[in-house]
Structure 1
Amino acid sequence: MPPSLTATRKIACTSLSLPCFGLGTAHLGELYGKVDEEQSRATLETAWRAGVRYYDTAPWYGRGLAEHRLGSFLRTKSRGDFIVTTKVGRTLHRPENPTAFDRAPWAGGLNFDIRFDYSYDGIMRAYEQSLQRLALDTLDALVIHDLEAGYHGEALAGHLDDLENSGMKALAELKGSGQIKAIGCGINTSDALREMVRRLDLDFCLVAMPYTLLDQRDLDEGMNTCARRGVSVIIGAPFASGILVSGSRAGGAYGYAKAPDAIREKVHAIEAVCEEYNVALPAAALQFVLAHPAVVSVIPGAAKPVELTQNLASLETQIPALFWQRLREKKLIDPRAPVPS
């Protein structure tokens, strides 16, 4: 049976349970293109009417725009009816030269510069800024964001020291006082997944790319290590940033860049099995990651109502067991990877 939208799964040893499906809001921060206010509102309204009650956001998404849009929408809802997670590690500030400021990589977004800060003061300031943008006085969980070499280079060691020496204390205080219920870490790479689970006292990891229908190389050292240590997982990029929706045609995105030929060839092979069993590729991608016992939720993004509706349809699609068996036989997924029953 496909997972139920309203079914919840508990995060580690915390009081927080998440629906198995939530809405990621990076697209509402204008990740790949401009999203006007009417379309943004319609997407959030469609999600709410469909029963979506978990929303993930971040200060980085549109340099504050996604948080503003989400907060404006949720402001009139009862606080007990929804769950919000956001991220820490960046604070937003007025640019030195607003007229010449480059908002890249965002197609639009707001005119705010960012500073990385994983110290006690930086975590607290990011938290307080997010509360104001979201028009909320509580958050359900905070996620340490983008603490990886790709973002920081040689500065990574210093940021890690800041986090371990004082930043984790801030998060522990917020959790201990009941202002948040869980502490997570956003993960984009295999190295970061292995390192952060080993070094930090986490309740969950928000995993973007290291575990998808296309890539299970981190099954043992990443995902199964999380399961053994009691660290829950939220999957943030079930479609591998796009190609598991768009398919193998040229121009598909993988890892937030143009997909290499080897990836497109593998997607093409998976598409052949999908055609054989009449299974939509996005449905297979979404339901595959939810089958791992460490995974509590999946949070694909949407920039327009139809994308949200399609994602929900993918969640509810019936997929025959023989489909997963065929993928294993053709060595398109790791034979040890859990699949939906």
Structure 2
Amino acid sequence: MLPQIGFGAAPLGELFTKVTERDAEATLEGAWNAGIRYFDTAPWYGRGQSEHRVGRLLYRQDRNEVILSTKVGRILRAPARPAEFDTGFWAGGLHFEHYFDYSYDGVMRAYEDSLQRLGMNRVDLLIIHDLDVWHQGSRAMVEAKTAQLANGGFRALADLKAAGAIKAIGAGINELGMIPRFVDLFDIDFFLLALKYTIGEQDTLDAEIPLCVERNIGLVIGAVFNSGLYATGPVTGAKYNYSEPTSDQLDKARRIQAVCRRHQVPLAAAALQFPLLHPQVTSVIPGAFRPEQTEENLAHVRRDIPADLWAELKHEGLIRPDAPTAQQLDIREETWPT
């Protein structure tokens, strides 16, 4: 069982923003000291940088207290022309290129490489990463890599789980339509659903989440702020799903924020708590790259939110009428399982 709030370490790979080593260390230590014990990272985050930073904190802790997840699907390697390396949308990070490999050997290689970067000899949860059109570039490439996973890579994950090296197998989901595909082909323990069940959008309630309920597959929610817009509100520079928000997306965020203000609730608090109100959601993993952000996230997730706020959002058509909002949250440090 996972705690209701964890730490998403993508920002420590310098997603859009440079992060000093001092800030990264202080952020992670602050999260640990505040009681966070579930940490999620990936080779892709800063091209290895996030795993290095997370590992430098966690290897010093009692391993029995740590819940650690990372991801497979990408192999990092030195670039052919280091002087010409482009970090892409990572503001910094390490200068390694990657290639996708979901084969048996590729999954095992990614797993072993992650252990080395983390400085840990095991992880708890291993997640299939970015097997979607957004990252693969075409439906044909998704089909090819899915076949690669089916013909070998998933057997590697199953072997690791059977040997006790990992406790659960997950899949990261960024696009609608992928959850049914995974459920049809693979024995998945949980999905890490990013961007698609948030206060900003709930289309996964049509088919994806009901299928998870039917199959008793757990959900962890990543990118709960939709890349920032629902943390800061519609301010200059805010991102929505890694891109510049449209005028409609900004207007919706502005209207949701106005409802929150009428109930004296910060927008970020409503955004953090909304996914947890669904009984199938086990955990949210907001990111941070400064110590005060972790403190704010913890304060937001513990804040009392009146039922009238959710009722008004539904009345105004800002969240779906079938989105669960009746569950009462009780998030206290001493109840977080480890």
User: Which of the five TM-score ranges fits, normalised by the shorter chain?
Assistant: over 0.9
Q: Any idea what SS the aligned residue of 2:70 has?
A: strand
- Matching of residue 109 in structure 1 with residue 93 in structure 2: yes
Q: Any idea what SS the aligned residue of 2:75 has?
A: strand
Alignment of 1:50-199 (within 5 A): 50-152=34-136, 153=138, 154-199=140-185
Any conservation in 2 of the 1:189–1:210 contact (CA below 8 Å)?
yes
**Partner Cα separation in structure 2 for residue 290 and residue 110 of structure 1:** 34
**Partner Cα separation in structure 1 for residue 184 and residue 195 of structure 2:** 19
Partner residue, 1:10: none
**Partner Cα separation in structure 2 for residue 300 and residue 194 of structure 1:** 25
**Partner Cα separation in structure 2 for residue 276 and residue 327 of structure 1:** 11
Partner residue, 1:244: 230
**Partner Cα separation in structure 1 for residue 227 and residue 152 of structure 2:** 33
Partner residue, 2:217: 231
Percent identity (aligned): 47
Structure 1 letter corresponding to 2:208: G
Calculate the TM-score normalised by the size of structure 1.
Answer: 0.93
Give 1:250 shift.
Answer: 4.2
Give 1:99 shift.
Answer: 1.8
**Partner Cα separation in structure 2 for residue 263 and residue 103 of structure 1:** 28
Any conservation in 2 of the 1:251–1:259 contact (CA below 8 Å)?
no
**Partner Cα separation in structure 2 for residue 248 and residue 198 of structure 1:** 39
Partner residue, 1:30: 14
Give 1:191 shift.
Answer: 2.2
Give 1:248 shift.
Answer: 2.2
Structure 1 letter corresponding to 2:41: T
**Partner Cα separation in structure 2 for residue 243 and residue 191 of structure 1:** 24
**Partner Cα separation in structure 1 for residue 239 and residue 167 of structure 2:** 34
Give 1:89 shift.
Answer: 0.1
Give 1:245 shift.
Answer: 1.0
**Partner Cα separation in structure 2 for residue 150 and residue 335 of structure 1:** 29
Query: Residues 234-276 of structure 1, C-alpha deviation per residue, up to 9 Å, x if partnerless?
Result: 0001111110011123432111101111111111111121111
**Partner Cα separation in structure 1 for residue 185 and residue 308 of structure 2:** 40
The count of aligned residue pairs is 325
Query: Residues 264-302 of structure 1, C-alpha deviation per residue, up to 9 Å, x if partnerless?
Result: 111111112111111111111111101111111100100
Alignment of 1:10-25 (within 5 A): 17-25=1-9
Q: Choose the corresponding residue for 1:203, options 182, 186, 189.
A: 189
Give 1:75 shift.
Answer: 1.4
Say which is worse superposed, 305-314 or 153-162, in terms of deviation. Answer: 153-162
RMSD: 1.1
Structure 1 letter corresponding to 2:302: E
Query: Residues 135-170 of structure 1, C-alpha deviation per residue, up to 9 Å, x if partnerless?
Result: 111110100000001211232211110001111100
**Partner Cα separation in structure 1 for residue 311 and residue 85 of structure 2:** 52
Q: Any idea what SS the aligned residue of 1:324 has?
A: helix
Structure 1 letter corresponding to 2:127: V
Give 1:134 shift.
Answer: 0.5
Unpaired segments ≥5 residues, structure 2 = 329-338
Partner residue, 2:335: none
Unpaired segments ≥5 residues, structure 1 = 1-16
Partner residue, 1:310: 296
Structure 1 letter corresponding to 2:77: H
Structure 2 letter corresponding to 1:313: A
Structure 1 letter corresponding to 2:235: R
Query: Residues 307-326 of structure 1, C-alpha deviation per residue, up to 9 Å, x if partnerless?
Result: 11111111011001111111
Query: Residues 154-191 of structure 1, C-alpha deviation per residue, up to 9 Å, x if partnerless?
Result: 32211110001111100000000000000000011112
Query: Residues 69-95 of structure 1, C-alpha deviation per residue, up to 9 Å, x if partnerless?
Result: 111111111110111000000011111
Partner residue, 1:221: 207
Q: Any idea what SS the aligned residue of 2:304 has?
A: coil
Q: Choose the corresponding residue for 1:278, options 264, 267, 275.
A: 264
**Partner Cα separation in structure 1 for residue 258 and residue 80 of structure 2:** 53
Calculate the TM-score normalised by the size of structure 2.
Answer: 0.94
Q: Any idea what SS the aligned residue of 1:71 has?
A: helix
Q: Any idea what SS the aligned residue of 1:257 has?
A: coil
